[in-house]
Structure 1
Amino acid sequence: MNSEKFKQGLEVRKEVLGAEHVDRSLANATDFDQAMQELTTEWCWGTCWTRPGLSRRDRSMINLAMLSALGRPDELALHVRGAITNGVTPEEVTEIFYQVAIYCGVPSGVEAFKIGKSVLEKLEK
């Protein structure tokens, strides 16, 4: 894709998630999922994440809560890394997951903590 929103989204996506991850995701796309990679890059990252109303840090915090509540472990792990990149502290991640446990159920919180702990341990190494 060559739309302006795709280009903006690709830049933001690489800054938040890491160029290596994004490049690998795009390179591994097949005819089956290529359109989804393009949609994600253009709409999520190019349309939503470039809006001026919230900072990247705020968006990351919201994503951690939503992905935890929805039970999306792979995306949650990816966005924990992105949240740290965007300035969210491990202490704030803890508070977000605690809030999830209270408002979305203890099993959601337990899973979020397990994923967050694993990601943060890998980032420390």
Structure 2
Amino acid sequence: MDNRETGRQIMRELMGAGYVEQKDKKRNAFNAVLHEYSEEVCFARVWARNGIDRKQRSILNIAMLTALNRPSQLRHHMEGALNNGCSMEELREILLQAAVYCGLPAAGDAFRIAEEVLKERKLLD
């Protein structure tokens, strides 16, 4: 399996086959290079590394995406974190920790996104 397919497989495992299909629908002659970079570098090279497990990588991503206020990516990585074994309680604590260091506005947005994802998965009323 080449790096691109390795990356695509990891994306499927993290966020589901539907996520990869949606990304493929958005691919065009202009943005294909960015999609390939994401598949080959982000997922095939970094996410596939040993040293820390996928759950730990998800925790880091949630904290960083909260700090950067990137709601679209945060939503995807919330899904991935749940798929990687993060519990609702762990997500709450990650976001509370982020509130202290990233600020309430960023954490407030992240809590809102997390609540939406948790409700969609029927993990929260």
- The TM-score, its normalising length taken from structure 1, stands at 0.94
Structure 2 counterparts to residues 20-39 of structure 1, below 5 A: 20-39=18-37
2:108 corresponds to which residue?
110
Query: 2-side partners of 1:116 and 1:106: how far apart?
Result: 15
> How many residues are paired up?
123
Alignment partner, residue 10 of structure 2: 12
Give 1:80's aligned residue.
78
- Spell out structure 1 runs of 4+ moving beyond 2 A: none
Do residues 121 (structure 1) and 113 (structure 2) align?
no
**Shift, 1:24, TM fit:** 2.0
User: Following the alignment from structure 1 to structure 2, what is the Cα–Cα distance between the partners of residues 74 and 27?
Assistant: 17
Show structure 1 runs of 5+ residues with no match.
Answer: none
Amino acid at match of 1:82: G
Q: Distance in 2 between matches of 1:23 and 1:8?
A: 15
Q: Deviations over 1:20-62 (max 9, x none)?
A: 1112211321112111111101111000000001100100010
Query: In the aligned structure 1, how far is the partner of 2:52 from the partner of 2:121?
Result: 25
Q: Aligned partners of 2:101 and 2:112: how far apart in 1?
A: 18
Q: TM-score normalized by structure 2?
A: 0.94
| Distance in 1, Cα, partners of 2:18 & 2:103 | 34
When the two chains are superposed, the root-mean-square deviation of aligned CA atoms in Å is: 1.3
Question: Whole-Å Cα distance in 2 between the matches of residues 36 and 9 of structure 1?
Answer: 13
